[in-house]
Structure 1
Amino acid sequence: MNYKILISFLAIYFSINSSFAKSIEQYFIKIIPSSNQVKYGKLIVKRYNSSLNYQKEENLPELTDPKVALEWINKQISPANLNKHSKVLIFIHGFWGSFPYAIDITSKAFDKYYFKNDDSNIDAVIHIIWKSHNMTYNQAIKSLKKSSNTLADILNNVEMLYPEKYSLICHSMGSRFLFESISNHTIKTKFQELVLIAPDLSLNNFNDNKNLFLNLASKIYVFANKNDQILLISKYINKNERLGRVTNHSKVINIEFINCSDVYTSQFNIDYMTSHLCFLYSPKVRKKIESVLDM
């Protein structure tokens, strides 16, 4: 009898806690190269396969202006979730970003592991997706160059979002995409934090253009791993060191380098072999990212 009471109690406890667990809303903006046009909508996180639920404003074509997409997202963000401390997180995907699998595992990680604390400031995530041309590295670079003006438009119009506080994360080649955009366009928006995770960006480009990044955010965090196998391949392709592999960078004011080289992830996930996705699979790294975003 006591066991039955205990089981009933635990069932009620977990039911209550899961119902009241904080959840964040996730949206996406998909950039169409060379067009300054985007598709957009809500990212529906499901147990097996997350999906992009495309939306369009009434009387508008399927492809539209980035500003229209942000206006629509702004209307959808639940006012009940927002307070004066709320922030929106912009997440620029990397080389795999146009593949459904990459979007799926990232959105699930945000849904399952991130921002569950009631004290967390992040209440919505906007995924920036761009066409990376079927795993061909050089074609992906050409694509992001053709999309850099659209990314600049998105970043410049982020200010229309209600919370008026924003954080920016770039993963892998997403950092290269950001660099391409800020190198060729003026970005007026000021982010509270810029987080570069495993940045597939030339170390020299970063060192020579630090002010471009510092103009974009009050504080910059670089998560690097000297064992990153994906960036090792990129190093040989590009014939120069990648920022995401440098863990002994000299100190720079308002730029903090976080060494993830000793981070352990389970052998049952893809990061065990690549050391490139610790922000998805390492509790230690996830906790650190949350802490810098909640400052």
Structure 2
Amino acid sequence: MIRLSSSLTLALLLAMGLGLYIGYTPLPIDILWGGLVGEAERGYQIVMQEIRLPRVLLGAVIGFSLGLSGAAMQGLLRNPLAEPGVVGVSATAGLGGVITIYFGLASSFAWSLPIASMTGAGVAVGLIFMLTGRDASVLTIILAGVAISSLAVALTSLTMSLAPTPWAVTEMLFWVMGSLKDRSMTDVTLTFPFMVMGWALILSSARALDALTLGEETARSMGVNLKSVNLRLIVGTAMCVGASVSAAGSIGFIGLVVPHLLRPLVSYQPSKLLIVSGLGGSVLLILADIAVRLIPSKPEINLGVLTALIGAPFFLYLILKTRREMR
């Protein structure tokens, strides 16, 4: 566990360094460092402090939030396919954000976007928990997620169709597709506190997730307050996903791919999977963001599109694998 966490932390630091280094204009290492610490020319300081640094920081904290919340949902529902994007949490968080953009609240009241996104995410997590329960089948999880996602997407499309100007539609569409481009330190400072609170709520339930693997009755006999655990996990996941979506739009499948790859390395123990999934999510999201910068396309491919292209085939593979194991 310690060795795995250390390796992922080192990989994260290397990925963040690479993210700061790679850009549209190659810069020497000394100029990059000077731009970060304010000792280079003003132009280089702007590039590093206002363009590249916020992008890398958001990639790290959003990736951690999505990886952590994916592992938490899978532990709560005891199902490896329960991921925020797959079960509609990201879509409903995106709906909340689109509504604030539609009414102009996002520009007049900065806190409205994360609050609306977290509210949408919380509603979706609560619905999934009520509709499926912890021992639901794969089919039940997927059907519930499809229903919630479809409703959220339909309402998002309706909001876009009623937008007063083409500019508003473009802003909503670009935001929903997910990207770390053109973000600032304001986005980091606005959403990071919500993410930290979400992390704390989820991590405080780590041991309870281990107990839940033995069944609810056993968990109760071990002194686990199930109502408190459920509430902490639901609110924590909503804060993580909602804050992430409010900063970067909908970025799916991070919370599905990362926990699945790392679960065998922590002996399938939910509590140990949380931190490493967060670190793995940070690494994966930063590398994906680097990839969209390197792909020769104009305009830049949206990050949410790339993660979907990677995650959707992986999700289909998991479904086929689960079906084979059930036979």
TM-score when normalising by structure 2: 0.25
Q: Which structure shows the higher strand fraction?
A: 1
Q: Which structure shows the higher helix fraction?
A: 2
Q: Which has the higher contact order (CA 8 A, sep 6+)?
A: 2
TM-score when normalising by structure 1: 0.26
